[in-house]
Structure 1
Amino acid sequence: MPQWLNWPLVRQLTGSDPLGRGTAARSRRTEDLRARTEQADEVVRSVCPYCAVGCGQQVFVRDGEITQIEGDPDSPISRGRLCPKGSASRELVTSPGRQTKIRYRRPHGTDWEDLDLDTALDMIADRVLATRDATWQRTDDQGRTLHRTMGIASLGGATLDNEENYLMKKLYTALGAIQVENQARI
């Protein structure tokens, strides 16, 4: 059979697909392609991390690596749809530019250095406690009891669930912070 008989236009004009949207448009390479979702070992349900809508996602995993993220058709919020940012959220995990180490630049420094997790957490805790101590208000100008700090505030993220917000509110209240807010509004 001559090779030109296998061209898409010839298949479209002579076959059962005159609009060229089915078999006429398929090549040998197209037939060999498989969806990344078919190769997954497991599918994990998740929530898109970008905004307050909370669209459901299906995360397809193979050999411990994310291969694809798609909208979850069982989600009552998004019904299987994702916006462009949600559709590209796989890049949050798989991008070669993603930072996987704790990076720190000292005050007035010009170079970044890597820190281990324990050191970074100790630095954060020391700074939170120092800020709390430096800005602690036991009483106001009229002698009324306050027991608060205005030096620590929290702005929660849009994808925190109720339980996470509850725990964060408890933490900041225990520190004496009264400026606790969440931007999860539509």
Structure 2
Amino acid sequence: MRNRQILDAALAVFSERGFEAARMDDIAARAGLSKGGLYAHFRSKDEIFEALLRRALSPSDLDLAALRAASPDMRHFAEAFVNRLYDDLMRPDALAVQRLLVAEGARIPHLTAQWQHDTVEALVAQLKRVLARCVAEGNCRAGVATRHPWLLLAPVAYQVLWQLVFGKADDAALQSRRREHIALVRELLA
């Protein structure tokens, strides 16, 4: 509970001031803690930022093998997979952290590199294993998507970028893009 309160406060402070200008004092005050109370939970701004990345941008409980096992066929898997990506990455808090990542990433390359390795590359590797198994079992065809599964993530990355640059898309447009993404995944894996 306290960590969530601290991370919510940190997100607000980082969003208002940027990573470099934010101070631990500001985060503590926003969270309603003393500076010592904040340090009892996090040792540094870097550690807080890393926790924000993990919380908002890491579908850590996304078990693609279990998602595939729960799907009767690849059509259902494609829908469940894409819907989960959009549900995880298009939340307002996730978008706020992604905005920070774009704005501040060059200043904190060690954190962005760690997030890329632990989250993005791990998700792509997990997807590659699931798709290799699907090909081996004859449930989908080998092709560009099974060789380069990051391509299946590209439409949601585009949508995130759209949101960050142009602001919130209307719900109809967002739902249309989600449906088109599902159709693309289905087509590539059929």
Q: TM-score if structure 1 supplies the norm length?
A: 0.27
Q: TM-score if structure 2 supplies the norm length?
A: 0.27
Structure with the greater alpha carbon radius of gyration: 1
Structure with more of its chain in helix, by fraction = 2
Higher relative contact order (CA 8 A, sep 6+): 2
Structure with more of its chain in strand, by fraction = 1
